[in-house]
Amino acid sequence: MPTKYRKTLTSLLSPLIFSLSGPLHAGSPVWTFSPLTATTISVSTTDTATVQYQVTNQSRKTHVLEMRGITGISQNTTFGHCANPFTLGYQQSCTLTLTVDGSSLQGSVAGGPVVCQQGSALQCYQPSRSDALNITLTTAPSATTLSTSVSHLALSRTGYTEYGVSGTPASGLPRTITVSNTGSVAASNLSISYPTWPTGTTASSNCGSSLAPSATCTITITPSNTATSDGTSACTTGVAPTPQTITISADNASSVSSTAVILGYGCIYQGGYVYALDDTTSASTCVGGKVAGLTNVSDNNAWTASRVDIAGAESTTNGAQNTTDIVASTSCTDYPADCAAYQCRITFAGGGNTDWYLPAICEEGYDNFSSGSGCGTLDSPTLQNMQSNLVNIGNVGSLAGSYWSSTEFYDLPADAAWYQSFASIGSNQIAYYKVSTFGVRCSRALTL
């Protein structure tokens, strides 16, 4: 070939050879890629992932750059990331952020991303082979279903002696939530998210990263001596606790959750102030106990309008049964407005509950002056009671005053019944005529 023709061909090819000098071919790249995240990843057809590179212009010339499109991979161009297109001066960098959508990928990806000078398909560069995209598309596992044994779990804080409960247990029993896979395939990548518990409370589980079909695992919550707060104070200061949420999730199942609270005396729960707890209930259910209504149902009410003996209403400990017997009697049904037990069982519906009763005398307090009620002493009461666990700790000062119990006076059942005189100092239990008027404060058992 004549010399002049060889020169012309060489001059035509030389720009092409220069513009292709990069990781796509031999030569030093004009802009470089430094991975900020892993670039070799697996993505299922239901997953998304993020890959980031720092792109740096190594040329003394300013370049306007844009990325070639890859099906299933989009560029995040919001503030703080490389725009599209983006301009880089000498030694300037930006973060190229890629979102990988497994549902949109057409298959696995090997190589790229490719970034070109705007308007030039020939001057393009991509990361080195070891740093290039290496995305394996996998098939998502079949869906399954998770469930929990309880939607809500109430526990007691530690530090109390549960007087009146069989065995006089200490409070603070650990309680459990069972997670079940009710589907036909294994739950994959199972995880549990716990809330920030009250100080000292802990939670653990025997759940692994996979849960076989029809299998179960258990979350155990161990309470401390601090009750759940309302976001500011522990609920024992006379506030309602804000339930805390435990969330269980898996790659191939919808998340499920249960809430939990740690209760103590004085907490507002299920429509009243907690004054008794019962940890003999099953560890897989809520703690038992009793609450006093938040308000009086009456300030001046007779026990009954007549001095007639009511069989079965002499229990010092079972206010619920006393109330049932009183409300069924003609002394109450003939004059319901003058029947204290009727006000609790029929009239009062605090917290939307209809199972309130007039508490027995030992549910209200202890025998401070040896009056013969049989309710024990301050240091060893017969039952956990309102005087000890609400009034004495200052949570329910509005209880100050005299309140009917549902307990008839055993010596003169036709004439008198016991009432509790609530006071921070000098509380007392006295038997008095049924037609006299005192306050009425109701009680109910916690539902599990």
Is residue 2's pLDDT more than 70?
no
Contact 219, 204 (CB under 8 A): yes
Is residue 367's pLDDT more than 60?
yes
Residue 412 has what pLDDT? 65
Per-residue pLDDT tens over the stretch 408-434 = 997 766 789 999 999 988 899 999 999
What is the chain's mean pLDDT, rounded? 92
Per-residue pLDDT tens over the stretch 231-247 = 999 999 999 999 999 99
Per-residue pLDDT tens over the stretch 77-127 = 999 999 999 999 999 999 999 999 999 999 999 999 999 999 998 899 999
Q: Which of 404, 378, 383 is nearest to 393 (CA)?
A: 378
Identify the weakest region by mean pLDDT among 138-147, 183-192, 256-265. Answer: 138-147
Radius of gyration of the chain (CA): 37
Residue 398 has what pLDDT? 72
Contact 223, 158 (CB under 8 A): yes
**In the block, residue with structure tokens 């000292």:** 200
Residue 330 has what pLDDT? 94
Reported as a pLDDT band with limits 50, 70 and 90, residue 140 is: confident
CA–CA distance, 261 with 390 (Å, rounded to integer) = 19
Is residue 160's pLDDT more than 50?
yes
- Classify 442 as helix, strand or coil: coil
When pLDDT is averaged across residues 124-142 and rounded to a whole number, the result is 93
Residue 44 has what pLDDT? 87
Reported as a pLDDT band with limits 50, 70 and 90, residue 374 is: very high
371 C-beta neighbours (distance < 10 Å), count: 14
Per-residue pLDDT tens over the stretch 30-49 = 999 999 999 999 998 888 99
Structural domains of the chain, ranges and CATH numbers in brackets: 3-138 (2.60.40.10), 146-271 (2.60.40.10), 298-445 (no CATH)
Reported as a pLDDT band with limits 50, 70 and 90, residue 290 is: very high
Residue 335 has what pLDDT? 95
Per-residue pLDDT tens over the stretch 376-401 = 999 999 999 999 999 998 877 678 89
Is residue 25's pLDDT more than 70?
no
When pLDDT is averaged across residues 207-222 and rounded to a whole number, the result is 97
Reported as a pLDDT band with limits 50, 70 and 90, residue 27 is: low
**In the block, residue with structure tokens 């119990």:** 405
CA–CA distance, 258 with 219 (Å, rounded to integer) = 11
The percentage of the chain sitting over the pLDDT mark of 70, rounded to a whole number, equals 93
When pLDDT is averaged across residues 314-342 and rounded to a whole number, the result is 97
HSE-CB of 127 using CA atoms within 13 angstroms:
23
Q: What sign for the dihedral angle of Cα 271, 275, 280, 283?
A: positive
